[in-house]
Amino acid sequence: MAPVPSTSRNAYLEFNREQWSVLRDAVPLPLSQGELERLRGINEDISLSEVEAVYLPLSRLLNLYVHANQRRSQVVEEFLGERPEDGPYIISVAGSVAVGKSTTARLLQALLQRWPEHPKVELITTDGFLYPLKELKEKQLLSKKGFPQSYDGKMLLDFLKDVKSGKSEVHAPIYSHLEYDRLTDRHHAIRKPDILILEGLNVLQTAHDYPEAGNRLFVSDFVDFSIYVDAKYDLLKRWYIDRFDKFRQGAFTDPNSYFHHYSKLTEGEARKTASKIWDEINGPNLKANIQPTRSRANLILSKGDDHKVNRVWLRR
Ligand SMILES: Nc1ncnc2c1ncn2[C@@H]1O[C@H](COP(=O)(O)OP(=O)(O)OP(=O)(O)O)[C@@H](O)[C@H]1O
Ligand SMILES: CC(C)(CO)[C@@H](O)C(=O)NCCC(=O)O
């Protein structure tokens, strides 16, 4: 577990795994066998005891926050005498490459949808807003993929403005890990969900990180509740290398995969290649741009070995 910077420590309530997991007792929604199987489909590596101990209490907490926000909107409605157009409650999930953001975000989507009100929950990853591969190459940003400058910030902010203003349909680009690029023939249509989960590396950045940005808006200006998924640097590097090796034997064997040539590598060569990509791109990005934003999150999930969350911090 990487320690939260001491300056921000007292801003948080701190829970160990046991203290956090008992908070699920008040979840009046046990998981059915069918639901457990569907959750298993999200990621075969995730243990179901982890879902119950960590993600059920989290879905209960988020449900309470969404309700509080709805009550707040009712106040505005009462005051105005009519209901203004409004957008979804936005939850962001930040953290390093390979920490498990996508898995956390997909689990939360599945769990939040189960609440009796059956909120419509959409999930978007900021990967779709990376500049297309061709442009990244032209801009000489391929070795900076995932760094803030590799995203089309204007496109992402326009998307969020439209969603938050309650527009009836907004389109988000889709990223393909297989093609290592944005898809040109498909998009994700967002039609007024109750909750939008936004998952990405840099979603916690603020004007504080860019003193030259003046009054420019940031993703975080649109977010109602932010989660940072955390783990120690060495664990993250190991997970990245393990995943790369798993892909070498799986996804990379597809001839359409951008990394198809890596499927010909031996395990040792693949691990060395992944280690180099980590040391040159994902590791430096984590240190320079991602980890420094951690202390702004409303909630920090801290993972140890085997992706088990062993500590949770909740902003007071
Ligand atoms: N809760 C979990 N339990 C076990 N394994 C997990 C868990 N979450 C993620 N993993 C594993 O960790 C790896 C990274 O997960 P995931 O793709 O969700 O990460 P990510 O942070 O979204 O990465 P990226 O930013 O690179 O897309 C995968 O191999 C996944 O199987
Ligand atoms: C798409 C991102 C930026 C984030 O998910 C990441 O997976 C990535 O492609 N990073 C660049 C270096 C690499 O190939 O891992």
DSSP characters over 29-70: -PPPHHHHHHHHHH-TTS-HHHIIIIIHHHHHHHHHHHHHHH
Residue 92: C-alpha distances to residues 68, 70, 136, 222 (Å): 18, 18, 25, 10
DSSP-derived 3-state class of residue 230:
strand
- Domain chopping of the chain, boundaries: 12-315
- Gap between the terminal Cα atoms of the chain: 21
Structure token digits, residue 124: 């978007």
Q: Does 3.30.470.20 match the CATH number of domain 12-315?
A: no
Query: Residue 10: its pLDDT value, please?
Result: 83
Amino acid at 105: A
45 lines ligand 1 (CB under 6 A): yes
Mutating to test ligand 1, I would choose from 43, 180, 289, 302 the residue with most ligand atoms within 8 A of its C-beta, which is 43
Give phi and psi for 20, each to the nearest 5: -70, -45
Q: What is the C-alpha separation between 289 and 280, in angstroms, rounded?
A: 14
Nearest-CA residue for ligand 2 atom 14 is 277
100 lines ligand 1 (CB under 6 A): yes
> In this structure, are residues 107 and 42 in contact, taking their beta carbons and an 8 Å threshold?
yes
Query: Residue 64: its pLDDT value, please?
Result: 92
Give phi and psi for 225, each to the nearest 5: -145, 130
Helix axes 267-277, 233-249, angle to 10 degrees: 130
ipTM for the whole complex: 0.93
Distance 193 CA to ligand 2 centre (A): 28
pTM: 0.94
Q: What sign has the CA pseudo-torsion 12, 201, 243, 109? A: positive
Ligand 2 surroundings by CB, under 6 angstroms: 97, 127, 145-146, 201, 277, 281-282
What DSSP character marks residue 204?
T
Q: Which atom of ligand 2 sits closest to the CA of residue 145?
A: 11
Structure token digits, residue 271: 């691990």
Distance 76 CA to ligand 1 centre (A): 40
Q: What is the C-alpha separation between 177 and 180, in angstroms, rounded?
A: 5
Q: What is the C-alpha separation between 155 and 103, in angstroms, rounded?
A: 25
Q: Which parts are annotated binding residues for ATP?
A: 95-102
Distance 197 CA to ligand 1 centre (A): 16
Q: Which atom of ligand 2 sits closest to the CA of residue 175?
A: 1
Among 292, 315, 303, 314, CA closest to 98: 303
Q: What is the pLDDT along the chain (316 residues), one digit of tens a residue?
A: 455 655 555 899 999 999 999 998 766 666 777 877 787 778 888 888 898 899 999 999 999 999 999 888 889 889 999 988 889 999 999 999 999 999 999 999 999 998 888 789 999 999 999 999 999 999 999 999 999 999 999 999 999 999 999 999 999 999 999 999 999 999 999 999 999 999 999 899 887 877 777 778 899 999 999 999 999 999 999 999 999 999 999 999 999 999 999 999 999 999 999 999 999 999 999 999 999 999 999 999 999 999 999 999 999 9
Q: What is the C-alpha separation between 159 and 268, in angstroms, rounded?
A: 42
Query: Residue 244: its pLDDT value, please?
Result: 94
Mutating to test ligand 2, I would choose from 130, 278, 282, 290 the residue with most ligand atoms within 8 A of its C-beta, which is 282
Strand-pairing partners, residue 12, are 315
Give phi and psi for 80, each to the nearest 5: -80, -25
103 lines ligand 1 (CB under 6 A): yes
